[in-house]
Every structure is written in C-alpha cells, then in structure tokens.
A and B are shown apart, each in its own frame.
Chain A
C-alpha cells in the first residue's frame, strides 16, 4: 500500500477544466464602502459569462479586479491560474478589455488606435498592420481606417474599442457594459459581432444592466445586487428557478390600482406590485387573464409575456433592474 498522502486527485489543470477565472470570497472595499462583498464564481473557457445587475451593484469593480487594474482587498482571485497581485503584467498580456467609457485616442486615426495599442503588447509592426486590417474588416470599420476617431458615431467607437481589445488575440475578452448608450440598431450590430466572437471560441465576460443583452449573449450569468451575488445559472435555469413560465402585466387607470389589488388575491403563484403596473406570475397567462376577468377586474391594458431575467431580478431583490 502506498503512502496515502501522496495520492491525490488529478488537478483541474490536468483534467483540462481549469477555470479561466476563479474567485473565492472576493472582496473590494474603498475605505468604508464595500463595493464587492465576498463573492464566489468560476468562469470556464469558451463560455460567455455575464454579470447582471443594476448600477452600483459591484460589476465594474469585479471587472477591474479581473483586469488587474484594481487591487483585490480580500479573498482569492485567479485569472488563467495566475495571481493578479503578482502577475498583473502576464495576465493583462492575455486579456482584451472593453471598458465602460471609451478610452480611444481621439486625435489619432482608427488604424493608429489599434496600432499603438498593439504596440503596448509588444507586437511587431508587420503583424499589427495585418491584424489591424483584419479586425477593422471584422468590425466593419475598414472604410474609416484612416479617419480620425473623434467624429465617429458612438456605435463605431464601441466597435473600434472592441477591435482594439482583440489585437493581442486575447484568451479572455472583458466587456463592461458594451452597449450602454447605443441606439437599438447599433446594439444589435454589436451583439452580432460578439456572437461571432463567441462562436470562434473567445471567452467573454460581459457586465450589463440590460436583461435582453444578458439573455442574448450569456451562457451563464450571476445576478449581482448590493455587492453580492444573488443567483447564478444559465438564463433559462434562472427563469425556471425564480420565476414562472409566463407573466401577466396589468395596468390600471390612475388611482385604480390599489383597489384592484385586493381582488387579484390568489389568482397567481406570485404577484409583484410596481408603481405603474401589477405583475402576475403564472404558468398559463391566458387562463389567468380569464380568471381576472371573471372577478370583474377591468385593467386598462393587459399583456401576457414570457418570463425574463428582469422578473428574476425583481423576485430576488424586489426592485426593478433599471430604475
């Protein structure tokens, strides 16, 4: 019999399942303010992982710690198995970062922004010229390659920021609220590009306060609220676990909502009363609408829809995602 102490399970690295990013009790404080309060998560290679939550939930602080630009206050964080405290430079060499605010050099051209950024990674000029052309093509910016950045639209600047973040062919792309402030058309164009990146096998971390964005892009996500993780899972799992299949939204004439609420009692598995409407959580929306009518309640408008992550968030926190 061999010495038991020398027998060990194969490490996760050996099994090829080592998470790309792993956090245990990860904490970030600014003075007395707790931005991230002891969270745990693990992000696997090739997945699109989301941090969903309202502004101020701690998403950006978490991203900044992963990107090695904000020191960890407490707890464990490993990125590519490395410690950001010691190996920031090595980790950043393999990351692509799309920050919340654009950080493009407005005086330079589109091409120069990618070129200079690529030089920070030590990439040779010949490689960069080739890669910049490819990336601008992929991000549909080739025609603007030699224009200055300043007059570009918000959507184009975001696409350029993403192109720039891909210049070092990162193993992990971090996107902090990639579509905030963009019009619907620009958002969809961007989602399309991110979806293609995902198909190419790029691991994505996305923070957002748009539930549709999270549903569209994320394989798995955590819902953050007040510096903590409130729930974790795939969008479908979260909806199945925390919400019902369908939701009936009832709007009432001004002042009539309070009176109606009492009459709705027991019609749904759960009800949420918002300032402007009542949400009834139910497996069968049409049946619930019929039951509402039978009780003689007459809402101004009735909508039956599928549950979304917004409902999950509302259930978990009692608050709407975007206030």
Chain B
C-alpha cells in the first residue's frame, strides 16, 4: 500500500463532501436529536430512574451513549453501502480513481479512513448534543468518540466488502432492513440486553453493536462493562480487520476482473 495515493483518496472524499455535507447532517445529527428528545425525555419520564438494569443512571443518560454508538453504526454502514455502490456501478468514480496511481488497496483503505473522519466529526457533534441534554458529562462525551469510531468502523469495513459483492442495491436495502435496523433496536441501545427473552440474548451478544454500545456507554458514563473493555474492543477490532481484509479482494474481483 502506498501512503500518497491513500491520502489522496481521503482528500478527494473530503472535497466531494464539501458539496454534499448538508444532506448528511439530517441523518447524522437531526434524527438522533429527535430520538434523544422523544425516547430520552418523553419515554424516559415513564421509566424509573432507580431501575437496576440501567446501572443506576437516568434513562436519557442510558440511551444517549447507546444512540451515539448506534448512530456511528448507521452512518458507517450507510457510507459503506450506497456511496460505494455509486463508485462501483452508478457513477463509476472508483473506475476513474483506479486509472490513476491509486490501486484497490489504497482506494478501499482511503475510503475507510474517510469514513473514520466522518465518524469522529459525527460523534463529537452528537456528543455535544448529549451534553446539551444534560445526559452525559462533557469529558465523557468527548472520550466516547473513541469507542463510537471503533463501533462505526466495525460496520464500515465489512459493509464495504458486502457492497463489493452485491450486484443490486436491493441487497443494500435488505442489509439495513434485516441487519442494521434490528441491531439498532435490540442490541442494548434502548434497553439492556438482559431484558430480552433468554434465547435471544446470545444473538444480541454476538452483534458488534452490542459491544460498541457497552464500550461507548462505559466510557461516556464511567459504568462497568459486561466483558473487560479490551475484550469488547477486540471483538470490534476483529470486525474491522476481517472486513478490511475481505473488502480488498472483493473489490478487486468487482473492479478489476
């Protein structure tokens, strides 16, 4: 892998983003704010603060880091799905990049690095909102950008590989309908996984989002985690590494047959 071309892929993404960032603001900031207001303040007023499963914090504080992790997931998966399909198939900008010194490794890595930049920005903006809601202390919100980034990348990398092997965009819609949305609802974002029926709990534990939520919540609020923090992080990191390693040959087969 060459550093120069990888950096230039990031730069190209950043330049294109200057034209498209307005559209992304809605998904990355406005919707979580709405969730935080409706669920955290509205629904949260009905939830007993003393409930043991919440770890002794108020409901809005409980869901704020969860939403941060889930937003990272959605942003990352979204960025690794439709824009990647556009680069491969609809607008073919990836084909343009690959006609230059940029190779598949640099293209995939540069795009993932750009998603990482997007995730950090999103996490910090979102963190500021949670602080404004009084849900999370400022230091916790800032620190939570780290695990939120890791959570997002655990999706960005494998979803890139998935998009690279998907012929039609209906596969992307399916991924969200049957993967991302259920995870969003059942991986500890809105309520502890311990509240799920027993048979469903192992499924929730297997999802990367569960580990992302655990880690983000622990860092933001200083709560204990289900597993040691390093184990959660390692689980997520495995998704990043395996996803990245799978995305490169998948993209090569797709773009350079």
Contacts and interface: CB of A to CB of B under 8 A. Distances in A.
A227 to B, nearest CB: 16
B101 A120 contact: yes
Interface in A55-113: 64, 67, 69-71, 88-90, 92-93, 95, 97, 99, 101-108, 112
A103 B96 contact: yes
Nearest to A95: B99
Interface of B: 2, 4-5, 8-9, 11-12, 15-16, 19-20, 91-93, 95-103, 255-257
Nearest to A93: B101
A301 B257 CA distance: 49
Contacts of B102: 120
Contact of B103 (A88, A95, A106, A115): A88
Contact of B255 (A69, A104, A106): A69
B256 A107 contact: no
Nearest to B102: A120
Contacts of A67: 99
Interface in A19-71: 30, 64, 67, 69-71
Nearest to B2: A89
A27 B30 CA distance: 54
B5 A120 contact: yes
Given A89-B2, A103-B93, A119-B8, A108 B19 contact: yes
9 contacts: A30-B257, A70-B256, A71-B256, A99-B92, A104-B96, A107-B16, A108-B15, A122-B4, A165-B99
- Dominant SS among interface residues on chain B: helix
A92 B100 contact: yes
Contacts of A95: 99
Given A88-B103, A92-B101, A108-B19, A120 B8 contact: yes
A218 to B, nearest CB: 22
Given A89-B5, A92-B99, A119-B8, 4 more contacts: A104-B93, A105-B16, A112-B15, A122-B5
A103 B2 CA distance: 23
Given A67-B99, A117-B96, A122-B8, A103 B91 contact: yes
A56 B12 CA distance: 34
Contact of B12 (A89, A93, A104, A120): A120
A116 interface: yes
A255 to B, nearest CB: 47
Most buried by B among A99, A103, A115, A121: A103
A69 B12 contact: no
Nearest to B94: A103
Given A89-B2, A107-B20, A120 B255 contact: no
Contact of B101 (A64, A102, A122): A122
A89 B95 contact: no
Contacts of B12: 116, 119-120
A105 B101 contact: no
Nearest to A148: B19
A283 B103 CA distance: 54
A204 to B, nearest CB: 16
> Which 3 A-B residue pairs are closest in the complex by CB-CB distance?
A120-B100, A103-B96, A97-B99
A97 B5 CA distance: 17
Nearest to A28: B257
A162 to B, nearest CB: 13
Contacts of B15: 108, 112, 115-116
A120 B97 contact: yes
A39 B101 CA distance: 26
A116 B97 CA distance: 9
Contacts of B100: 92-93, 117, 120-121, 168
A105 B91 contact: yes
B65 to A, nearest CB: 34
Nearest to A164: B96
Nearest to A96: B99
A93 B256 CA distance: 17
A103 B11 CA distance: 18
B99 A69 contact: yes
A250 to B, nearest CB: 45
Nearest to A91: B101
B256 to A, nearest CB: 5
A101 B92 contact: yes
A119 B11 CA distance: 8
A169 B45 CA distance: 66
A82 to B, nearest CB: 13
A88 B8 CA distance: 17
Contacts of A88: 103
Nearest to A98: B99
Contacts of B5: 89, 120, 122
B92 A103 contact: yes
